[in-house]
A = this chain, B = another copy of it.
């Protein structure tokens, strides 16, 4: 059976895991959340690359056939190093997200929101320009969105939430974008309020869904998968104690997590 490795700095990647399991319910997955070092979005490219390599080596030791980097920041800065270090295919979320955005836009005016690390790297901007050279890309880091999502302050009718979201998105509205990439795995949790603030004319692109589609393209034609009627094995690992991950994680996965085990990355 094909085994898919997925890592993220913490719980955010569970939105990618969720999309993946919807598309490929029979897939075996091993998820690693680096909760002892979360978040990656505020850290340098060198540090994020070092952490990403360590995560990948742990998953490699689990015998994975494909690695999904379910963290936008790690996808933005660490893919070349990961591809060089690993013997299996490595898929990030930036390229699929950019592809979906280019398909969705008609005006070519595309917004991207993400962590400081993701936006600062310029990875989405470059990926979008490579696919559509005349695109106008408006990028904005939204550092308060992750803590809002983790606090569960996501109600579109909540005046405080609305105030924060409006402030970050105002410059994107002023640029009259028609497509907005949610370039952080936490942001789908805020989709309701983001959609309301941006209005119905703006298409929201969730990298998770497009990434799941790409994994399906790679694995779906192979006979390495169980029939969709059989549920695959799901393993969850974290680097800090599991309690906080489980509490927030059920909301992100949209269902109940199985057992979550703590692993040490020392020596990897």
Contacts and interface: CB of A to CB of B under 8 A. Distances in A.
A146 B167 CA distance: 18
Contacts of A36: 37, 43, 47
Contact of A143 (B151, B160, B240, B241): B151
A147 interface: yes
Copies in the complex: 2
Interface string A152-193: 010000011001100100000000000000000000000000
Interface in A8-49: 35-38, 42-44, 46-47
Interface string A134-154: 000000000110111011010
A244 interface: yes
Interface string A43-63: 110110000000000000000
Given A36-B37, A160-B163, A47 B241 contact: yes
A244 B42 contact: yes
Contacts of A163: 159-160, 163
Nearest to A144: B147
Contacts of A47: 36, 240-241
B150 A44 contact: no
10 contacts: A35-B43, A36-B47, A44-B240, A44-B241, A44-B243, A44-B244, A46-B241, A47-B241, A144-B147, A147-B147
Interface of A: 35-38, 42-44, 46-47, 143-144, 146-148, 150-151, 153, 159-160, 163-164, 167, 240-241, 243-244
